[in-house]
Amino acid sequence: MEELGFTVDDTVDITDVVCPVTFVKTKVALEELEDGQILDVHLNDGEPVQNVPRSVKDEGHRILKLTDNGDGTYELYVMKVGD
Amino acid sequence: MATDYATLKKGGFMRQKQKDHFSLRLSVVGGQVDAKQLAAITEVADKFGHGYIHLTSRQGIEIPFIRLEDIDEVKAALAEGGAKPGVCGPRVRTITACQGSEVCPNGCIETEKLARELNDRYFGQELPHKFKFGVTGCQNNCLKAEENDLGVKGGVQVSWQEDKCIQCGVCEKVCREGAVTIADGKVTVDQDKCNYCGRCAFSCPTDAYDTTPGYLVSFGGLFGNHINKGEEMLPFITDKETLFKICDAALSFFKENANAGERFKFTIDRIGKEKLQEKLNEAYDKKR
């Protein structure tokens, strides 16, 4: 696996749910983290990858990276901002 | 004295099937009605109407069952709450708008403000036939810009800023037009494919896109007895001055060329699209 340059503190899989639960699940996972910790969101291609990053950004968190797994799923790395 | 229905209609009083009753159309701009106006409208509907209002298809409010003899009292009661009758007939009608960038996360332009400005400039202007303006804030087109004689659709022109980009790839994924490509650490936006929706910029985690808001304008839409989708005839417009010049040009083309009772679309067809195009180009170029 490619070097990320940061350490993941928690992981959430949202490939088993659809909008808007995708974002809800992500939000809940972020709530359990401390400011500055990093969440790895495992998500599907299509609507989730189009909408979840923007929703996360609009909530004020910092997106560090999005990687394509090549199997129709992605990893979105988010740093939690604020408590 | 004979009732002057034409004047009443001009003032927003729509004659009902029921003798001497009117459905009173109110002036609403961009779909916004404040609480004070609502209170006055409620009072009038209760006291002079049948205790209800009708929401029109174009963001208007009508109070049905207003009686002819109550008209002056009704107008006075509405005026106290800052509400007033709208218009019907051959003139510029209600300017409709979505909530736009002031409220909506997808909005590219301030639609409410623009609707008020268009209203101040054009509302009620006498023309050969009805003329409808609609303002929608983005490509989602909640306000259905192309249904209007003149539709304004907000958009943003984007320009990628390399120094802020973290190569996350979100913009390429969110673009629905296939306009964004990332190769060798460079982001390219194909301006021919770009539809100005702004999804790339709005979703960018580091705001690595500079955005310039602007307008796409469509002409000749109608959605009544005949249906026609308004057509975009100009490039993306980035300043309001030019937008107003273009609106002026479209309205004067209509005023000068239309037969009475002829909608904009049919005037364009009869006189020739190229003639309108000439006028629009003139207005578009004037400010550049």
Check if the beta carbon of residue B86 is closer than 8 Å to that of residue B94: yes
C-alpha distance from residue B197 to each of B9, B152, B153, B171 (Å) = 39, 14, 10, 12
Q: Please check whether residues B282 and B218 belong to one and the same domain.
A: yes
Q: How far apart are CA B191 and CA B155, in angstroms?
A: 13
Q: Which residues contact A50 (CB under 8 A, 6 or more apart)?
A: B173, B174, B176, B199, B203
Q: Please check whether residues B128 and B219 belong to one and the same domain.
A: yes
pLDDT tens per residue, range B242-263 = 999 999 999 999 999 999 999 9
Q: Please check whether residues B13 and B74 belong to one and the same domain.
A: yes
* B105–A contact, CB cutoff 8 A: yes
Which pLDDT band, with edges at 50, 70 and 90, does A36 fall under?
Answer: very high
Enclosing domain of residue B272: 92-155+214-286
Check if the beta carbon of residue B268 is closer than 8 Å to that of residue B276: yes
Asked if the structure places residue A74 within a domain, the reply is yes
C-alpha distance from residue B238 to each of B30, B105, B127, B213, B214 (Å) = 21, 20, 28, 6, 4
A-B contacts (CB, under 8 Å): 41
Q: Please check whether residues B18 and B139 belong to one and the same domain.
A: no
Q: Do A57 and B203 touch (CB under 8 A)?
A: yes
Active site residue A19: yes
Q: Residue B68: which CATH number? A: 3.30.70.3340
Q: Which residues contact B49 (CB under 8 A, 6 or more apart)?
A: B24, B63, B64, B65, B66
Q: Do A54 and B202 touch (CB under 8 A)?
A: yes
pLDDT at B288 over 70: no
Q: Do B168 and A50 touch (CB under 8 A)?
A: no
Asked if the structure places residue A1 within a domain, the reply is no
pLDDT tens per residue, range B13-65 = 889 999 999 999 999 999 999 999 999 999 999 999 999 999 999 999 999 99
Enclosing domain of residue A53: 10-79
Q: What is the pTM of this model?
A: 0.90
In chain B, the number of structural domains is: 2
Q: Over chain B, what is the mean pLDDT?
A: 95
What 3-state DSSP class applies to A26? helix
Q: Please check whether residues B22 and B119 belong to one and the same domain.
A: no
Q: Please check whether residues B141 and B13 belong to one and the same domain.
A: no
Q: Residue A33: which CATH number? A: 3.30.110.40
Q: Which residues of B touch A66 (CB under 8 A)?
A: 168-170, 173
Is the reported ipTM for this assembly greater than 0.90?
no
Asked if the structure places residue A2 within a domain, the reply is no
| Last residue within a domain, chosen from B80, B112, B133 | B80
* A64–B contact, CB cutoff 8 A: yes
Q: Please check whether residues B37 and B146 belong to one and the same domain.
A: no
Q: DSSP characters for B154-179?
A: EEEEEEE-GGG-----HHHHH-SSS-
Asked if the structure places residue B61 within a domain, the reply is yes
Q: Please check whether residues B244 and B144 belong to one and the same domain.
A: yes
Asked if the structure places residue A18 within a domain, the reply is yes
pLDDT at B113 over 80: yes
Q: Do B169 and A64 touch (CB under 8 A)?
A: no
Spot the catalytic one: A4, A19, A33, A66.
A19
Asked if the structure places residue B52 within a domain, the reply is yes
Q: Please check whether residues B53 and B146 belong to one and the same domain.
A: no
Q: How far apart are CA B26 and CA B132, in angstroms?
A: 16
